[in-house]
């Protein structure tokens, strides 16, 4: 069978005929239907980078400043936390766009949408149990930083890809 010919795998391929294993494998490999799996993997990779990166950066900031549970948080620490979260989110968005098989910005936007959903659920749950701290603007701000950082990282990937 040459490269252009494809086996007829329809139900009515012939009376009682069935493709043999080699034809079925060849037909399956021609589909190359891994883009969905790779797209989901790109979003999961971005989420893992964001999660682990945010934890490492926050723990480092807490370790450097010596802030413990119950201590008052300084404005400087809040500013560093916001800035570092944006950088980590931009890196996660860049990697999501970079590893997406097609439509990198769409994958990053889907990732940003997942972050918005998770953030709204977390803030709602926190508010329901009365857990919003003395800075009620901080959780909503942090929930916006993630999606905007992801989109900024994807935009950076797009600019770099066009510049090649």
- What confidence score (pLDDT) does residue 150 get? 95
* Residue (of 138, 146, 156, 147) closest to 75 by Cα position: 138
Which tens digit of pLDDT belongs to each residue from 137-154? 777 888 889 999 999 999
What 3-state DSSP class applies to 16?
Answer: coil
CB-based burial of residue 59 (10 Å sphere; 0-12 exposed, 13-18 middle, 19+ buried)?
exposed
- What confidence score (pLDDT) does residue 11 get? 47
What pTM was estimated for this model as a whole?
Answer: 0.72
Which tens digit of pLDDT belongs to each residue from 49-67? 999 999 999 888 888 888 7
At 34, is the pLDDT very low, low, confident or very high (cuts 50, 70, 90)? low
Task: Decide if pLDDT at 10 tops 70.
Answer: no
The string of DSSP letters for 56-74 reads HHHHHHHHHHT--TTPPPP
Report the mean per-residue pLDDT for the chain: 80
């Amino acid at each position: 069978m040459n490269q252009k010919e494809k086996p007829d795998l329809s139900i009515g391929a012939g009376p009682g005929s069935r493709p043999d294993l080699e034809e079925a494998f060849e037909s399956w490999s021609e589909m190359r239907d891994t883009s969905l799996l790779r797209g989901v993997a790109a979003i999961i990779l971005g989420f893992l980078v964001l999660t682990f990166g945010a934890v490492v950066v926050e723990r480092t900031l807490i370790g450097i400043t010596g802030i413990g549970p119950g201590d008052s948080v300084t404005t400087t620490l809040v500013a560093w936390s916001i800035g570092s979260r944006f950088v980590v989110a931009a890196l996660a968005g860049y990697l999501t766009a970079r590893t997406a098989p097609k439509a990198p910005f769409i994958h990053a936007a889907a990732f940003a949408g997942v972050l918005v959903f998770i953030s709204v659920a977390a803030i709602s749950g926190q508010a329901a149990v009365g857990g919003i701290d003395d800075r009620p603007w901080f959780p909503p701000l942090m929930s916006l930083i993630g999606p905007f950082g992801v989109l900024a990282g994807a935009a950076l990937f797009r600019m770099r890809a066009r510049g090649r």
